[in-house]
Amino acid sequence: MTIRYQVGLVDPDRHEFEVKMRLTIPKEGSVELSLPAWIPGSYMIRDFARNIVEISASDALGAQLPLHKKDKQTWVLRGDAAKATLVYRVYAYDLSVRSAYFDNTRAYFNGTSLFLRPAGEDEAMYDVVIQRGEHECTGKWRVATGMPAVDVDADGFGLYRCEGYEALIDYPFEIAQMTCAGFWVADVRHEMAFVDAAGIDAERIARDMEPICAEHVAMFGELPVESYLFMTLATSGGYGGLEHRNSTSLVCKRSDLPYPNSGDVEKGYRTFLALCSHEYFHLWNVKRIRPKVFAETGLQSEVHTELLWAFEGVTSYYDELALPRAGVVDADAYLDMLAPSLTRYYRTQGRRRQTVAESSFDAWTKFYKQDENAANAIVSYYTKGALVAFGLDLLIRTQTDDSLSLDDLMRRLWQRYGKRNIGVPERGIEKEIEGLTGVSAEQFFRSYVYGKDELPLAEWFAAFGVGLARRPAKNSEDVGTFVCGDTQPQTLVNALQAVVTVKEGLLSVVSVTNGGSTQMAGLAAGDLLLAVDGERCTQANLSQLLNRKAAGDTVELSYFRRDLLKQTQLTLQPDESNTCDMYWLDEATLSAKVLARKAAWLSSSHKG
């Protein structure tokens, strides 16, 4: 049976898609229809069915068919083996990569938001028809998607087709005016489509992405798609991405994109290239090499695994490493990209309370639902996972006398699991390392994956010829950098051990550091700071006010809590050395083994 969805761009002002779904009711006389509760790659229950604002069903003659809602995301359609048409409206105003969006500037959707799933038809053929609509705003729009086209016009409006519901919901659609460019890797065409990014140098982005994608393909040895599409929405301050089977949806800051006559690869642009690199690496790691539980369960409720650190963390390790390996940035710039990641790790007190395996398992309720205490309670399986991946890279190299690396483990996982569509068991990564090296990795996993031991990062980086220095932050924007030569010790300064932001012209406490002086003084998230020792405090003068006295002295803090004036005594404490700088160790002091490892670490996979 072929099931068809006709997507109408009918009401941009109400932000509503109209979907007409045609199917045949089974001879049993009824069929259940449901939307997923979450979208692969984003581990939080989102209840997409809540955005269906109208729904009805009729037979081939137009007579109404019984349609009963069974639960929050499921309907039961009844009829006597009838050909049925469902018509429903979907509210779409989520400016992210996870759901759907529709106004008079663009239309975007994931299948998880629009396409009801008929029970028992997971392997059926699915048709999707995209209609331009009659609104003036759609006149210059084009369609971008990875779904195979069957009969479309020059702008991509028309009929698309795929096999299986899992595939159907893994092809997002971007419909808007676009700036486009493309390139080839391994004889596969790669397209880049940018929305709300007029005037950018799209050709330069394509030139820079070609060697990055080629680096990933060379590492795995093959490219498992016949085409690939990068879809990017440029905004004033967004960032993020979501991987799909042959495409990715991205959101980035418009200012991060290069324009004609732009100079070298600046920090913002490096960030965008690394984001593209991250989602492209997911072609193998997550989309095909994936946890066994993901391969065995559906999208109606949470699916827990302790392995997200390996899939997101390992991907985060390679997304930036690919840039120097591909020759897009130099090795100094790579260290400049690493420094903020280390800073984020050291500023997260939750690393002492949650393992990276627990972070993975509890992503649904903790990582994706962070509150003011998150920094004190959890650790990111992205950030720490990438650092654990770096440690595993070193472990494999040292266990095999530098004849193998994490690259070889990823190729092994691809050949044994991803390529064969077999899910990775919960302890599968650890066992594959032992199979690859012949040496147990049990102690490493006990300490750093399933335990809370502090990562010996300075020791690990030194084994690659990299120095790591920790120091106090110079200001709120200081997250570490690459420095030429060894860093000099800096004098510690008193600091408010809390995160603050400006709210209604006052400093508002966002979170307090667990065990820090601010917490001990009784301050909490939501408090509004007024004065230090009677003088009004602002972002500009707070550090000065806190450093008029020496560490160990006290100052009087005045603040509002629930609109009531409060005062407390704050014991001044110097900032921890929680900002990281990175530098290259003097090669004259390094052994031949370390020098060779450093060179191999940064070398392209194209070289063998």
Question: What is the pTM assigned to this prediction?
Answer: 0.94
Kindly state the average pLDDT of the residues 65-87: 93
**CATH number for position 16:** 2.60.40.3650
Q: Is the pLDDT of residue 408 over 60?
A: yes
Single out the residue in 264, 297, 321 at which a domain terminates. 264
pLDDT at 607 over 60: no
- pLDDT in the model for residue 576: 72
Model pLDDT, residue 482? 96
Residue 168 shares a structural domain with residue 206: no
484 occurs within a structural domain: no
Listed in order, strand segments (DSSP E) in 374-527 are: 466-471, 498-503, 506-512
Whether the CB-CB separation of 145 and 172 falls below 8 Å is answered with yes
Distance CA 486, CA 346 (A): 20
Q: Based on the domain organization, do 84 and 153 belong to the same domain?
A: yes
pLDDT at residue 182 in the model: 98
pLDDT for the residue numbered 412: 98
Rounded to an integer, the average pLDDT of 319-342 is 97
Query: How high is the pLDDT of residue 226?
Result: 98
According to DSSP, the β-strands at 2-11 and 16-24 are antiparallel
Tell me which residue of 26, 35, 121 sits closest to 77, measured CA to CA: 26
pLDDT at position 608:
43
* pLDDT mean over 496-522: 92
The answer, yes or no, to whether residue 604 has pLDDT greater than 90, is no
Residue 393 above 60 pLDDT? Answer: yes
Distance (Å, whole) CA 5 – CA 167: 14
> CATH code at 245?
3.30.2010
Quick one: 153 and 18 in the same domain? Answer: yes
* Same-domain check for residues 296 and 437: yes
User: Within 13 A of 312's CA, how many CA atoms are on the CB side?
Assistant: 25
Does 491 have pLDDT greater than 80?
no
For the chain, the average pLDDT equals 95
Among residues 233, 250, 252, which one has the least CA distance to residue 242? 250
Residue-wise pLDDT for 514-563, tens only, equals: 989 999 999 999 999 999 999 999 999 998 999 999 999 999 999 999 99
How far, in whole angstroms, is CA 538 from its chain's centroid?
A: 34
pLDDT at 82: 80
How does DSSP assign 208-248, residue by residue?
HHHHHHHHHHHHHS----SEEEEEEEEESS--EEEE-SSEE
**Domain assignment of residue 56, given as a range:** 2-176
SS3 state at 350: helix
Nearest to 207 by CA among 237, 242, 231, 183: 183
| Residues 249-302 pLDDT 10s | 999 999 999 999 887 778 999 999 999 999 999 999 999 999 999 988 889 999
Calpha distance 458→346 (Å, rounded): 12
pLDDT digits (tens, 9 = 90+) for 178-196: 999 999 999 999 999 999 9
Q: pLDDT-derived band of residue 487, with 50, 70 and 90 as boundaries?
A: low
Cα gap 56→49, rounded to integer Å: 14
Using CA atoms, how far apart are residues 225 and 188, in angstroms rounded to an integer? 8
Same domain membership, residue 456 and residue 439: yes
For residue 576, tell me if it sits in a domain: no
Same domain, 236 and 119: no
Task: Examine the domain organization and report whether 96 and 245 are in the same domain.
Answer: no
- Give the helix/strand (H/E) hosting 293: helix 292-296
How far apart are the two ends of the chain, measured CA to CA in Å? 48
Q: 578 near 343, Cβ under 8 Å? A: yes
What value does the mean pLDDT take over residues 502-525?
A: 93
88 and 183 share a domain?
Answer: no
pLDDT in tens, 419-478: 999 999 999 999 999 999 999 999 999 999 999 999 999 999 999 999 999 988 887 788
State the total domains in the chain: 4
State residue 486's pLDDT score.
59
> What SS3 class is residue 126?
strand
